[in-house]
């Protein structure tokens, strides 16, 4: 299969009342695992990588690996740049075969955020790729989370409407009480705000910081316009826990064995989220 523009997956989910899980991937094992889980559960899925991962494997190499692996699977999937930090990064990912890009200028002044996303849309349109923007700051739970702003500010529905209209983006990441990382206390999602955001923007909305969201809250958020749910920390936690217990127990010293065991734990996380979002059986 070939990667699809993320907007295709999201518009079906938005209309169908389910969410598409967006899983963090960083190497061939994680890409293959995600595609395999999606194929087995007949679920649409998004593979996302961000600037933090590119210091080791760049977007060109990662995209080449993803495209090569994708040719072995019959799945509906998008390859997405998560939290793209510059327009150059966006351009590189598009040239490398990403079918979707996020430009995260949420920490910049509103007009700069608008201008950046407007240009990202211009860059993406020739290849039909999707563009995600973020308005309002989505913070992080603690300092060990790689992603997330230092603080959170909730997304304003009227500003979101203007942002969508002036940029032409396909999907909007919203700040409604969600945060990146492993929640130390349960999030209190602002569902009234989310309903207003759905009303004012009319485009699929994105929930960053999916890990740890209570299932009932997740279902409610999806019913109010969330069409994409980002999950990273739970995958990391599963892998870290498995590797640590394997190595601390002194049972083996062979990295591939530890990795294989860890990926089995990660697979359980992927399956859980494919079911939680209602994506199973939708592709
Ligand atoms: P979590 O790490 O909290 O799952 O969030 C992931 C995310 O939103 C990536 O952008």
| pLDDT surpassing 90 at residue 103 | yes
Say which residue the tokens 């999916």 belong to: 210
Confidence of residue 146 (pLDDT cuts 50, 70, 90): low
13, 279 contact by CB (below 8 A): yes
25, 70 contact by CB (below 8 A): no
What is the spatial distance between Cα 175 and Cα 179, in angstroms, rounded to a whole number?
8
256, 234 contact by CB (below 8 A): no
Over residues 158-212, the pLDDT tens digits come to: 999 999 999 999 999 999 999 888 888 888 999 999 999 999 999 999 999 999 9
208: Cβ below 6 Å to ligand 1? yes
Beta-carbon contacts of 264 under 8 Å, excluding residues fewer than 6 positions away, are: 242
Pocket test for ligand 1, best of 21, 23, 24 (most atoms within 8 A of CB): 24
Helix (H, G, I), strand (E, B) or coil at 64: helix
225: Cβ below 6 Å to ligand 1? no
Q: Which residues are catalytic?
A: 82
Distance 255 CA to ligand 1 centre (A): 26
Distance 179 CA to ligand 1 centre (A): 8
Over residues 106-115, the pLDDT tens digits come to: 999 999 999 9
Predicted pLDDT at 144 = 66
147: Cβ below 6 Å to ligand 1? yes
Q: Tokens representing 143? A: 């300092």
Q: Tokens representing 57? A: 């494997």
pTM (2 d.p.) = 0.95
Closest by CA to 179, choosing from 209, 217, 219, is: 209
Task: List, in sequence order, every beta strand (DSSP E) within the chain.
Answer: 20-24, 45-49, 77-84, 100-103, 130-135, 171-174, 205-207, 226-231
231: Cβ below 6 Å to ligand 1? yes
Distance 18 CA to ligand 1 centre (A): 19
Over residues 231-245, the pLDDT tens digits come to: 999 999 999 999 998
209: Cβ below 6 Å to ligand 1? yes
What is the spatial distance between Cα 90 and Cα 103, in angstroms, rounded to a whole number?
7
130: Cβ below 6 Å to ligand 1? no
Beta-carbon contacts of 11 under 8 Å, excluding residues fewer than 6 positions away, are: 204, 227
Beta-carbon contacts of 34 under 8 Å, excluding residues fewer than 6 positions away, are: 23, 25, 45, 47, 77, 270
Going from the C-alpha of 233 to that of each of 81, 223, 256, 273, the distances in angstroms are 17, 24, 22, 12
Over residues 64-92, the pLDDT tens digits come to: 999 999 999 999 999 999 999 999 999 99
Q: Whose CA is nearest to atom 3 of ligand 1?
A: 209
Atom of ligand 1 nearest to the CA of 235: 4
What is the spatial distance between Cα 213 and Cα 140, in angstroms, rounded to a whole number?
14
């Amino acid at each position: 299969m070939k990667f699809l523009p993320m907007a295709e997956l999201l518009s079906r989910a938005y209309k169908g009342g389910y969410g598409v899980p967006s899983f963090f991937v960083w190497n061939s094992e994680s890409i293959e695992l995600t595609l395999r889980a999606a194929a087995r559960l007949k679920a649409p899925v998004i593979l996302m990588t961000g600037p933090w991962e590119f210091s080791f494997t760049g977007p060109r190499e990662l995209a080449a690996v993803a495209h090569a692996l994708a040719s072995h699977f019959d799945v509906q999937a998008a390859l997405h740049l998560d939290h793209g930090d510059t327009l150059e990064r966006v351009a590189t990912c598009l040239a490398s075969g990403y079918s979707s890009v996020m430009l995260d200028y949420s920490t910049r002044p509103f007009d700069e955020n608008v201008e950046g996303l407007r240009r990202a849309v211009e860059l993406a349109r020739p290849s039909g790729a999707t563009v995600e923007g973020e308005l309002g700051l989505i913070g992080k739970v603690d300092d060990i989370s790689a992603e997330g702003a230092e603080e959170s500010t909730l997304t304003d529905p009227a500003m979101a409407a203007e942002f969508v209209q002036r940029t032409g983006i396909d999907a909007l990441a919203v700040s409604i009480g969600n945060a990146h990382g492993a929640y130390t206390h349960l999030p209190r999602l602002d569902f009234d705000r989310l309903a207003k955001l759905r009303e004012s923007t009319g485009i699929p909305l994105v929930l960053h910081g999916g890990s740890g969201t209570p299932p009932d809250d997740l279902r409610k958020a999806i019913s109010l316009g969330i069409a994409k749910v980002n999950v990273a920390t739970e995958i990391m936690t599963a892998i870290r826990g498995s590797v640590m217990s394997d190595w601390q127990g002194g049972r083996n010293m062979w990295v591939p064995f530890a990795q294989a065991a860890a990926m089995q734990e990660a697979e359980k996380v992927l399956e859980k989220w494919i079911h939680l979002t209602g994506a199973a059986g939708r592709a």
